């Protein structure tokens, strides 16, 4: 049934419908962020009453937020924990992903299956065992793990390495092996071929993996809430959650804190968007 429309008209109508659906999806996705930024510049009373004022923006909310919420401490903790996690998990994923893509060894299939199987188990099931293990380490060795940077880095590195391995494995599989063989013929050692030939070609994949690790760790709340109980080591999501529990009526400062915590995520993604998309796409083609 064509309803009297020509194929060209149907094609144009199809494009218009897809455009409208895409525009609607973008609006639905972006509107909460825009509303968050707008409310961060309103007074608490205006937010409670549902009034939006553009004639008098309340910029002092950001200043009060840094003072009352101690946001800089949480922000610093998140940068340290997520930054170190990104480096460590990215390093492990690069080494393991390259080995899985290039070499066949005994137990390779079982290792690949076990790596992905860890992603099928709900993370909440690990919470109590990890907490008990941290307490055991403190009592047995004397090394504190709760409320520490290294405790959170250890947990996040363990959680985000398996998926990162599969991202890097898929990307390494798209790089022709003949390029490494040519480097070996020219006198490079296997490690030199990996460092000088493979790694430069794998830059988009490395950036994509790093962005995935950083953004996922930045937004994580469950384990950070259980393993960091003081402001000295709590991350941004924990800090905002603590603030909600203590000052529920100051929605203006809460929106300001949420806006500031979103900035690193946006900057990280937009700065590496080109490499992130190409890396994720290349990693899904083969492997």
281 has a pLDDT exceeding 60: no
Alpha carbon distance 33, 260 (integer Å): 12
The CA distance from 176 to 242, in Å, is 50
Mean pLDDT of the chain: 83
Which H or E element spans position 241? helix 236-246
In which band, very low, low, confident or very high, does the pLDDT at 5 lie, cut at 50, 70 and 90? low
The number of domains in the chain is: 1
* Residue 53 within a domain: no
Query: Which CATH number do you get for residue 242?
Result: 1.10.3720.10
Gap between the Cα atoms of 18 and 2, Å rounded: 18
The answer as to whether 6 is a domain residue is no
Core vs surface per residue 131-163: b (16+ CB within 10 A) or e: eeebeeeeeeeeeebbbbeebbbbbbbbbbbbb
The predicted pLDDT at position 247 comes to 54
Is residue 40 a part of any domain in this protein?
Answer: no
- Structural domain for 158, as ranges: 69-248+259-283
CA-nearest of 249, 250, 216, 219 to 236 is 219
- Give residue 287's pLDDT band: very low, low, confident or very high (50, 70, 90): very low
Count other C-beta atoms under 10 Å from residue 251's C-beta. 20
Establish if 145 belongs to a structural domain: yes
- Please name which of 280, 284, 250, 208 lies closest in space to residue 46, comparing C-alpha atoms: 250
Phi-psi map region of 272: left, alpha, beta (phi>0 left; psi -120 to 50 alpha):
alpha
Q: Decide if 156 is inside a domain.
A: yes
pLDDT of residue 252: 82
Q: What would the pLDDT profile of 222-259 be if each residue is shown by its tens digit?
A: 899 889 878 788 898 888 777 765 655 677 888 888 88
**Contact status, residue 227 vs residue 152, Cβ threshold 8 Å:** yes
Rounded to an integer, the average pLDDT of 2-24 is: 81
Output the six-digit token pair for 13.
């109508």
**Burial (0-12, 13-18, 19+ Cβ within 10 Å), 54:** exposed
- Report if residue 187 sits inside a domain: yes
Q: Is residue 233 part of a domain?
A: yes
**What digits encode the pLDDT tens for the residues 35-59?**
888 888 888 788 877 788 887 888 8
Does residue 54 lie within any of the structural domains?
no
Q: Does 131 or 250 have the greater pLDDT score?
A: 131
């Amino acid at each position: 049934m064509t309803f009297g429309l020509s194929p060209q008209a149907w094609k144009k109508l199809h494009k218009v419908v897809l455009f409208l659906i895409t525009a609607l999806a973008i609006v639905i996705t972006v509107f909460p962020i825009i509303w968050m930024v707008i409310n961060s510049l309103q007074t608490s009373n205006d937010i409670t009453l549902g009034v939006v004022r553009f004639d008098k923006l309340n910029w002092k909310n950001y200043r009060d937020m840094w003072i009352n919420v101690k946001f800089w401490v949480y922000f610093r903790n998140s940068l340290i924990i997520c930054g170190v996690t990104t480096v460590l998990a990215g390093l492990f994923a690069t080494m393991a992903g390259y080995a899985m893509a290039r070499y066949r060894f005994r137990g390779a299939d079982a290792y690949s299956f076990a790596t992905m199987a860890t992603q099928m188990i709900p993370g909440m099931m690990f919470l109590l065992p990890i907490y008990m293990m941290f307490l055991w380490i403190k009592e047995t060795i004397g090394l504190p793990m709760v409320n520490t940077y290294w405790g959170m880095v250890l947990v996040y590195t363990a959680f985000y390495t398996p998926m990162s391995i599969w991202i890097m494995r898929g990307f390494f599989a798209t790089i022709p092996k003949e390029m490494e063989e040519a480097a070996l013929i020219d006198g490079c050692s296997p490690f030199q071929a990996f460092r000088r030939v493979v790694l430069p070609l794998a830059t988009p994949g490395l950036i994509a993996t790093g962005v995935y690790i950083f953004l996922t760790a930045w937004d994580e709340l469950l384990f950070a809430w259980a393993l960091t109980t003081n402001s000295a080591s709590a991350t941004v999501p924990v800090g905002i959650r603590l603030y909600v529990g203590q000052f529920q009526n100051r929605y203006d400062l809460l929106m300001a804190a949420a806006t500031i915590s979103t900035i690193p995520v946006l900057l990280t993604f937009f700065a590496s968007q080109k490499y992130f998309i190409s890396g994720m796409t290349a990693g899904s083609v083969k492997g």
